[in-house]
Chain A
Amino acid sequence: MKAFLKLMLVFAVVQAGVLFVVFLMSLPPDNYRAAAIDKQRLLRETPSPRIVLVGGSSLAFGIDSPTIERELQPGCRVINMGLHAGLGLDFILNEAADGVRQGDVIVLSPGYDVIWFDTVQYVDMGEVIRFVPRAASYVAPHDRWALVKSMALEQPLVTLHDIAVTSLHNVVPRLAAHGVYYRSSFNSHGDNVAARDLDQYFEPDRELPPVEVETVAYRRNLRALKEFAEEMRRRGACVFFAPAPLDEHRYAENSDLVHRTLEDIDDVAGVKVIGSAADEVFSAESFYDTSEHLRGEAVFEHSRRLAAALAAVDATFEGHAECRCPSSRTVPR
């Protein structure tokens, strides 16, 4: 038995050595969720005036920040914090709250699933924390125990796999070509630009049944939006909600629910909705691989509509003169 245990120990030590070499080969990390490093740095360092876009991957894929900047007041910088719906609404909001300043314009635009369901995937949350340890403070209290379990039992495997894949891509870059789920897929604003010129990878499922909202999660998410908005206003920031893009089939199946959700966000959560859900419906071909990740010209169209919606907002309606909401170049402030 001792000989066997010694054999296992020596094997483990050898593999630890291999792991060290592979780890060195995997630097710098190009994991998709490592983009959180850059986004949080953007949020900390970008000077005001700024528009902070908050959401999940639909926001990451669906926005071209330079387009919005061109449409609005010169010098107004756009930061796209969108990364992954799997982080859950609480985490996404807490992350944004950590870097928001007085005068910021915050545009919440998560995918509808983030509002309708509890979308948290603890392993993804754990990955972000691995890259940005400070992000542990963004975890909601009710998620902490599940996250600890995930980090103990699931995260080691995910980390090993990620290190192995990244090191292989560093050695054979061709294998990473046409991939969109990397840190290097994002531009300097935090937009995921890798899918824009690619052919559609998967057509959105045309046969999804109508959505059945998770009532408990929905109410909790509305509450979270309300508390976030109130806190941000106390800090002197403006908060809006912009409808996320949806594919035509999904919208047709769930249009009543979508409009009801936007009404609740306005009335219950107290967050003004800018733009119209119907205007953000796109054909199935406009999506890259899910019914939320825009590609091609649709990205620019969606961005222009968001810019127009922002420009149409009266900058002082919330009573904060410091909140320098942008306006169109044709409309003098």
Chain B
Amino acid sequence: MGPVAVGFYLFFAVVFAGYWALDNVTARKLLLLGSSYVFYALFDVRFLGLLAGATVVGFVAGRLIADTENSRRRRAVLVVGILSCLTVLAVFKYLGFFFESAGLLLRSLGFAADPPTLHLVLPIGISFYLFKVMSYLIDVFRGKTEPTRSLLDFSTYVAFFPQLLAGPIDRPADLIPQIAEKREFDYALAVRGSRQVLWGIFKKVAIADGLIWSVSRAFGDWRQESGTVLLAGAVLFSFQIYCDFSGYTDISSGLSKLLGITTVRNFAYPYFSANVAEFWRRWNISISSWFRDYVYISLGGSRFGRVRLVVSVMVTFILSGLWHGANYTFLAWGALLGVGVSATALRGRPVLRAEDTPGGERLTVAGAVRILATFGFITLSWVFFRSPTIGDAVGILQAMLVLPGDVSELLAPLALFPGTRKVLLVALVAFVAIEWVQRRHECPLDLATWPRAGRWLAYTGVLWTTILLGQPLLGARFIYFDF
């Protein structure tokens, strides 16, 4: 019952009605917490205990850190808390990968090694809620957030259902106070939230799910495909993953707004970035800032010279790559991006922030070239992300380098949009144009300056394009549910 299912919106409607009908803030929190656990249980009831356990460990550790004067003891509790989270993550996500890699290494050294093959089910959302817990512990230790005395508040923060399955990872200092205090219904916030939900559903259902077929067609038997088709497939995958993940977080943020809660902005038009460093300020902002604040800065960041900077960047991005999955392809993807970010950092050029207008207020030719070059680099890096093995990724990239032999090869990618799918191609081009034109706004459907009739025409157009292009019941999970 993901956030594009009818059942989910019936569920949300009940929560929404109950939340605003209740006047008592404790009752509201209990409703949010209960509905979050019910929501999680509908996906996988087996791991409810894990969610609850991580919550209790995080809360108790946070209290101990806050209530202890002794700095060594505080640090020890922090380390135990962090290690607990990482151990759980390591067991479910990386143990199989570790055994497989150890076996490969031992065999390459001539030892007979037959390590156990593990097929552990990855609990959905584990990477996200454990990171929330770790974020809380570190921020309490650093004094960046007030430790909460309310297990109810903390539990709701960890399990907040719009974010439970795939983030974004809100910082405790931003989210816990909003949960703790009684929210008043905000009409403007609710309208913005509704628009964001609509845009998120459009991105996920119409664009991301619509592109699944085309991308699968391009990469399904990649050895048989021409370089132009593979290149087109990579570009389409760039939009598939962007619309899939940003669509989910738009829905999550929009629904949170409907509950009166403002969450972190997670995507700020990343494909309009002028360099890789800027891309990482605009893509999956909650995760990239998590790694920046808790890994990159802890390793020294830019404070100790260029060598330390490069090492910090590379370690951060390799870990970030591995966070996405236990496979060498994710490691390679992370490393590639680390190289890109390092290159930008070493050049010393200013990098736009997420809240800055991408491309600047006036786009120049040089600026357009930088944006296209960055998009090209990111697209090529996604080949590693999508490929099952490094060998496949390298093979695909090599095939892309083969120049087309004739005009028909240049037109070959059109086969990825047969029949009605041509409408999807038009919608994709329109989508990019809309995002560019509206890049100054958090959501492209923020059309405050338009007359009402124009706004409603736009909303109706987006809704019916979604219905037309959406493939109901395709069964496509959100890509980031698997991380």
| A→B interface (CB under 8 Å) | 1, 3-4, 7-8, 11, 14-15, 18, 22, 123, 153-154, 156-158, 160-161, 164-165, 168-169, 175-179
Closest-CB distance, A150 to chain B (whole angstroms): 9
- Decide if A8 touches B472 in the complex (CB within 8 Å): no
- Decide if B420 touches A158 in the complex (CB within 8 Å): no
Q: Is B5 interfacial (CB 8 A cutoff)?
A: yes
**Quick one: which of A11, A14, A168 contacts B420, CB cutoff 8 A?**
A168
Residue of B nearest to A8 (CB): B194
CB under 8 Å from chain A, chain B span 361-406 = none
- Decide if A22 touches B464 in the complex (CB within 8 Å): yes
Q: How far is the CA of A14 from the CA of B6 in the complex (A)?
A: 20
Across chains A and B, which 4 residue pairs bring their CB atoms closest together, nearest first? A157-B472, A164-B468, A1-B185, A164-B467
- Decide if B420 touches A15 in the complex (CB within 8 Å): no
Closest-CB distance, A296 to chain B (whole angstroms): 19
Closest-CB distance, A130 to chain B (whole angstroms): 14
- Decide if B464 touches A178 in the complex (CB within 8 Å): no
Closest-CB distance, B260 to chain A (whole angstroms): 11
Given the interface pairs A3-B187, A14-B460, the reply to whether A176 lies near B473 with Cβ below 8 Å is no
- Decide if A176 touches B419 in the complex (CB within 8 Å): yes
Closest-CB distance, B359 to chain A (whole angstroms): 33
- Decide if B464 touches A18 in the complex (CB within 8 Å): yes
**Quick one: which of B5, B7, B10, B470 contacts A161, CB cutoff 8 A?**
B470
Q: How far is the CA of A179 from the CA of B421 in the complex (A)?
A: 11
Find chain B residues with CB under 8 A from A123 CB: 472-473
- Decide if A175 touches B423 in the complex (CB within 8 Å): yes
Q: What are 24 A-B contacts with C-beta separation under 8 Å?
A: A1-B20, A1-B187, A3-B187, A4-B191, A7-B191, A11-B459, A15-B463, A18-B460, A123-B472, A153-B7, A153-B10, A154-B6, A154-B473, A160-B467, A161-B467, A164-B468, A165-B468, A168-B423, A168-B468, A175-B419, A175-B422, A176-B420, A178-B419, A179-B420
Q: Is B294 interfacial (CB 8 A cutoff)?
A: no
Given the interface pairs A156-B6, A168-B468, the reply to whether A4 lies near B473 with Cβ below 8 Å is no
Bitwise interface map of B from 456 to 472 toward A, beta carbon under 8 Å scored 1, else 0: 10011001100110111
Closest-CB distance, B204 to chain A (whole angstroms): 13
Residue of B nearest to A156 (CB): B6
**Quick one: which of B190, B459, B464, B473 contacts A157, CB cutoff 8 A?**
B473
| B→A interface (CB under 8 Å) | 5-7, 10, 20, 185, 187, 190-191, 194, 418-420, 422-423, 456, 459-460, 463-464, 467-468, 470-473
Residue of A nearest to B7 (CB): A153
Instruction: State the majority secondary structure of interface residues on A.
Output: helix
Residue of A7, A156, A161, A179 contacting most chain B CB atoms (<10 Å): A161
Q: How far is the CA of A161 from the CA of B467 in the complex (A)?
A: 5
- Decide if B20 touches A15 in the complex (CB within 8 Å): no
Closest-CB distance, A86 to chain B (whole angstroms): 11
**Quick one: which of A14, A156, A157, A179 contacts B419, CB cutoff 8 A?**
A179
For the A-B complex with A14-B456, A179-B420 known, give 7 more contacts whose Cβ atoms are closer than 8 Å.
A8-B194, A22-B464, A154-B6, A154-B473, A157-B6, A164-B467, A178-B419
Closest-CB distance, B426 to chain A (whole angstroms): 11
Find chain B residues with CB under 8 A from A156 CB: 6
Closest-CB distance, A183 to chain B (whole angstroms): 16
Q: How far is the CA of A11 from the CA of B464 in the complex (A)?
A: 13
Find chain B residues with CB under 8 A from A7 CB: 191
Q: How far is the CA of A161 from the CA of B471 in the complex (A)?
A: 8
Find chain A residues with CB under 8 A from B463 CB: 15
Find chain B residues with CB under 8 A from A157 CB: 6, 470, 472-473
Q: How far is the CA of A41 from the CA of B6 in the complex (A)?
A: 34
Find chain B residues with CB under 8 A from A1 CB: 20, 185, 187
Closest-CB distance, A179 to chain B (whole angstroms): 6
Residue of B nearest to A150 (CB): B473
Find chain B residues with CB under 8 A from A11 CB: 456, 459
Q: How far is the CA of A158 from the CA of B475 in the complex (A)?
A: 13
Find chain A residues with CB under 8 A from B190 CB: 4
Q: How far is the CA of A299 from the CA of B64 in the complex (A)?
A: 75
Closest-CB distance, A215 to chain B (whole angstroms): 23
Residue of B nearest to A124 (CB): B473
Q: How far is the CA of A85 from the CA of B468 in the complex (A)?
A: 25
Find chain B residues with CB under 8 A from A177 CB: 419
Q: How far is the CA of A1 from the CA of B463 in the complex (A)?
A: 23
- Decide if A175 touches B420 in the complex (CB within 8 Å): yes
Closest-CB distance, A234 to chain B (whole angstroms): 39
Closest-CB distance, A16 to chain B (whole angstroms): 12
Q: How far is the CA of A230 from the CA of B464 in the complex (A)?
A: 50
Find chain B residues with CB under 8 A from A175 CB: 419-420, 422-423
Q: How far is the CA of A15 from the CA of B456 in the complex (A)?
A: 10
Find chain A residues with CB under 8 A from B194 CB: 8
Find chain A residues with CB under 8 A from B7 CB: 153
Closest-CB distance, B187 to chain A (whole angstroms): 5
Q: How far is the CA of A22 from the CA of B419 in the complex (A)?
A: 20
Residue of A nearest to B190 (CB): A4
- Decide if A158 touches B423 in the complex (CB within 8 Å): no
Find chain A residues with CB under 8 A from B472 CB: 123, 154, 157-158, 160-161
Q: How far is the CA of A149 from the CA of B138 in the complex (A)?
A: 45
Q: How far is the CA of A8 from the CA of B12 in the complex (A)?
A: 15
Residue of B6, B418, B419, B472 contacting most chain A CB atoms (<10 Å): B472
**Quick one: which of B10, B420, B459 contacts A165, CB cutoff 8 A?**
B420
Q: How far is the CA of A24 from the CA of B468 in the complex (A)?
A: 15
Residue of A nearest to B456 (CB): A14
Closest-CB distance, B210 to chain A (whole angstroms): 11
- Decide if A153 touches B5 in the complex (CB within 8 Å): yes
Q: How far is the CA of A165 from the CA of B420 in the complex (A)?
A: 8
Given the interface pairs A11-B456, A14-B456, A153-B7, the reply to whether A164 lies near B473 with Cβ below 8 Å is no
- Decide if A4 touches B185 in the complex (CB within 8 Å): yes
Residue of B nearest to A160 (CB): B467
Find chain A residues with CB under 8 A from B5 CB: 153
